[in-house]
Amino acid sequence: MSEDFYRIRRLPPYVIAEVNAMRAAARAGGEDIIDLGMGNPDLPPPPHVIAKLAEVAAKPDAHGYSASKGIPGIRRAQAGYYARRFGVTLCPETEVVMTMGSKEGLASLATAITAPGDVVLAPNPSYPIHTFGFIIAGATIRSVPTTPDENYWRALDRAMVFTVPRPSLLIVNYPSNPTAETVDLAFYERLVAWAKANKVWVLSDLAYSELYFDGQPTRSILEVPGAKDVAVEFTSMSKTYSMAGWRVGFAVGNKQLIAALTRVKSYLDYGAFTPIQAAACAALNGPQDIVETNRALYHKRRDVLVEAFGRAGWDIPVPRASMFCWAPLPPALAHLGSLEFSKQLLTHAGVAVAPGVGYGEEGEGFVRIAMVENEQRLRQAARNVRKYLLSMGVNTPAQAAG
Ligand SMILES: Cc1ncc(COP(=O)(O)O)c(C=O)c1O
List Cβ neighbours of 373 (8 Å cut-off, separation of 6 or more): 34, 35, 36, 42, 381
Cα torsion angle, 195, 200, 201, 204, sign: negative
Is residue 244 lining ligand 1, measured as CB closer than 6 Å?
A: yes
Q: Which atom of ligand 1 is nearest to the CA of 105?
A: 11
207-234 pLDDT, tens digit per residue, is: 999 999 988 899 999 999 999 999 999 9
CB of 338 within 6 A of ligand 1: the answer is no
* Closest residue CA from atom 2 of ligand 1: 207
- Tell me the CA–centroid distance for residue 370 and ligand 1, in Å: 13
Q: Is the minimum distance from the CB of 213 to ligand 1 under 6 angstroms? A: no
Using alpha carbons, list the distances in angstroms from residue 268 to 95, 105, 251. 20, 11, 16
Neighbours of 49 (CB within 10 A): 25
How is domain 6-44+289-392 classified at the CATH fold level? Answer: Aspartate Aminotransferase, domain 1 (3.90.1150)
**154 C-alpha to ligand 1 centroid (Å):** 28
Per-residue pLDDT, averaged over 166-192, amounts to: 98
pLDDT for res 394: 82
What is the spatial distance between Cα 233 and Cα 132, in angstroms, rounded to a whole number? Answer: 18
Judged against a pLDDT cut of 90, whether residue 373 lies above it is answered with yes
What residue owns the CA closest to ligand 1's atom 5?
103
Per DSSP bridges, beta strands 96-99 and 249-253 are: antiparallel
High-pLDDT (> 70) share of the chain, %: 99
In tens, the pLDDT along 264-318 reads 999 999 999 999 999 999 999 999 999 999 999 999 999 999 999 999 999 999 9
pLDDT bucket at 402, cuts 50 / 70 / 90? low
So what's the pLDDT on residue 391?
93
At residue 58 the predicted structure's pLDDT band, cuts being 50, 70 and 90, is very high
For the chain, the structural domain boundaries read 6-44+289-392, 47-287
DSSP-derived 3-state class of residue 283:
helix
Q: Are 125 and 179 contacting, i.e. CB atoms less than 8 angstroms apart?
A: yes
Predicted local distance difference test score (pLDDT) of residue 351: 97
CA of 173 to the centre of ligand 1 (A): 10
Give 47-287's CATH code, choosing from 3.40.50.2000, 2.130.10.10, 1.10.10.10, 3.40.640.10: 3.40.640.10
pLDDT beyond 90 at 156: yes
